[in-house]
Amino acid sequence: MDTTTPTRCPFHAQASPAPSGDGQHEHAILQPSGAWPPGPPSGLTGWSLLARMARGLPEALADWRRQYGDLVHLRMWPEHQLVVSDPRLVRELLVNHHASIVRWERGIRVFSYLQGNSVLVAEVAPWSAKRQALQPAFAPKSVQEFVPTIAAAARGAMAHWEAGPAMPIESALTALTMDVIQRMMFSSALGDEARSMEAAVHDALVAGNAEMFWPASAPDWLPWKRRKRRARALLSGLIGRHVQARLDLPEAHWPRDLLSRLLALHRADAAAWPLDAVRDECMTAFLAGHETTAASLSWWAWCMAANPAAQEAARREVGKVLQGRDPAPDTLAQLGYLGQTLNEAMRLYPAAPVLMSRRATRGFVLDGWTIPARTMFMIPVFLMHQDPRWFPEPQAFRPERFAPDAPAIPRGAFMPFGAGPRVCLGQHLAQAEMTAVAAMLLQRFAWSVPEGQGAPEAVLNISLRPKQALRLDVARVG
């Protein structure tokens, strides 16, 4: 059965006109019969396509791109979805048509279970107000203030690492990045809660990813959702305790951290920033602020273990620039080759390999196709990162791709933090943290692949992680 659709499918015919980005309403622009890009046969409902994606999303999308090109139509009743994997079209969608798209409602509902109505979840005017209020705290100048905090956390953690064969490096890096965000948010170390919080975040991500492929969630009181409930209770308890403890302090004694900046917004305008909003932003910062950084650093550690020449070149650079000192704001920018290795690891293993799906709120034209309102869009970043048109020998680890004198990478072909107005709010913080932590790792340790261990299998649970916990042979240096 082909993927063509009637002029007025039940979904588009019955849908109310969706609000446009300027607050007005426009009638959906309905496609003439058959006017969709090519895509896999959908059968009667197309739900078999959804089932295939649930079994292995990256593999399904890569297969369909090979067969049908950079703009693939998926008909899954009652939805029409386009998979966009051409960098030019992705930027056109996320930048030029930003006012005509919102994030997928189902994804938002899944994320809101933990994150309320934070800047990650909000849309249109509420999102814009939150983003504008939070932006100064994540600007490059503000991020520089946190570099000593990052270095102190890394120094303390690495002093207690037990180097040796098959060290659980992924778990160690996750605990470290969790401690870093804890210090930046609350000016306190995570301590004995680290392992339970690491498990809670993992359980929350696994549960969230599973629910993305279902039209609705089963009630959370059901017995088999015990781990999800426990994860939420642990994480919410952590955030709630810190917020209350800060409120119990005289404001003159508040430290200069992210929580104090959020509570300052609450004190200035409690209607716009109630305490629930402060807690929501804390939860988002805690989850997003450590998970993707931990994933990226873990994949970087694997890439460097598998490429010892690159590891040694980065170590020499770190030694020359830092000369045994901790990283500082003025020295991070001098670690150019180290930055190249981080970029190449994020190219091969983007922590967010598929951006949250978008929905058109009104009709527009994309690459000559008239797109009706309510069309869904999926953006597989990993397909662009591993496209031989933009990255020759895409499976090879080659940091020189990002050297200053390397051939220019097409705009949009490398976007580990997204693009457009909703580009990751914490991208500058993540880059500074990854660079500082990686530099301090290289100062203290050398690591290699355990004998007989193959390349880790990557699995997607909202973020991209190794299927089996990553272990490496680690030895102290110096």
Instruction: Give the C-alpha distances (Å, rounded to integers) separating 477 from 118, 306, 437, 449.
Output: 43, 18, 16, 17
pLDDT value at 19 more than 80: no
Distance CA 400, CA 337 (A): 8
Positive or negative torsion for Cα 363, 368, 369, 370: positive
| Residue 216: per-residue pLDDT | 66
Section 118-143 average pLDDT: 90
Token pair of 385 as six digits: 């990162």
Burial 18-56 (b: 16+ CB within 10 A, else e): bebeeeeebebbbbeeeebbebbebeeebeebbebbeee
400-424 pLDDT, tens per residue? 999 999 999 999 999 999 999 999 9
pLDDT at residue 346 greater than cutoff 80: yes
Q: What pLDDT was estimated at residue 338?
A: 98
Q: Is pLDDT above 80 for 477?
A: yes
Enter the tokens of residue 37. 């890009």
Residue ranges and CATH numbers for the domains of the chain are 10-476 (1.10.630.10)
Q: What is the DSSP string of 346-378?
A: HHHS-SSSEEEEEEESS-EEETTEEEPTT-EEE
pLDDT value at position 98?
94
pLDDT at 383 over 50: yes
Neighbours of 268 (CB within 10 A): 10
Higher-confidence residue: 47 or 396? Answer: 396
14-23, 58-67, 92-101, 225-234: least confident range: 14-23
For residues 396 and 22, give the distance between their C-alpha atoms in angstroms, rounded to a whole number.
45
- Tell me the helix, strand and coil percentages in the chain, rounded to 5: 55, 10, 35
Least confident of 109-123, 188-202, 255-269, 456-470: 188-202
What would the pLDDT profile of 206-237 be if each residue is shown by its tens digit? 777 667 666 666 677 677 778 888 888 888 88
Average pLDDT, the chain: 87
For the chain, percent of residues with pLDDT exceeding 70: 89
What confidence category does residue 155 fall into, taking pLDDT thresholds of 50, 70 and 90? very high
* pLDDT band with cut points at 50, 70 and 90 for residue 273: very high
Phi, psi of 170 (to 5 degrees): -65, -45
Tokens of 35: 């006017």
Q: How far apart are the first and last CA of the chain?
A: 65
Q: Give the confidence band of 23 by pLDDT, cuts at 50, 70, 90.
A: very low
CA distance 338 to 336: 5
For the cut 80, the answer to whether the pLDDT of residue 286 exceeds it is: yes
Q: Which long-range contacts (CB under 8 A, 24 or more apart) does 215-222 make?
A: 215/106, 217/109, 217/110, 220/113
Res 124: pLDDT: 87
Lowest mean pLDDT among 13-27, 34-48, 226-240, 462-476: 13-27
Supply the pLDDT for residue 460: 83
- Provide the 8-state DSSP code for 259: H
Residue 213 is predicted with a pLDDT of 62
Angle between helices 258-268 and 169-186 (to 10 degrees): 40
Of 172-181, 219-228, 363-372, where does mean pLDDT reach its minimum?
A: 219-228
CB 89 within 8 A of CB 366: yes
What's the residue count for the chain? 478
Burial degree of 113 (CB within 10 A; 0-12, 13-18, 19+): middle
Q: Which residue has the higher pLDDT, 327 or 25?
A: 327
Give dist(CA 268, CA 245) in Å, integer.
Answer: 19
pLDDT category at 467 given cuts 50, 70, 90 is very high
Selection from 185, 196, 165 nearest residue 279 by Cα:
185
- pLDDT category at 277 given cuts 50, 70, 90 is very high
Q: Show the tokens assigned to 57.
A: 């999303």
pLDDT score at 194: 64
DSSP character string of 41-71: --TTTSHHHHHHHHH-HHHHHHHHHHHH-SE
Answer positive or negative: Cα dihedral of 381, 387, 393, 395: positive
pLDDT at residue number 209: 67
More confident residue, 3 or 115: 115
CA distances from 221 to 218, 224, 302, 435, 453 (A): 9, 8, 39, 42, 41
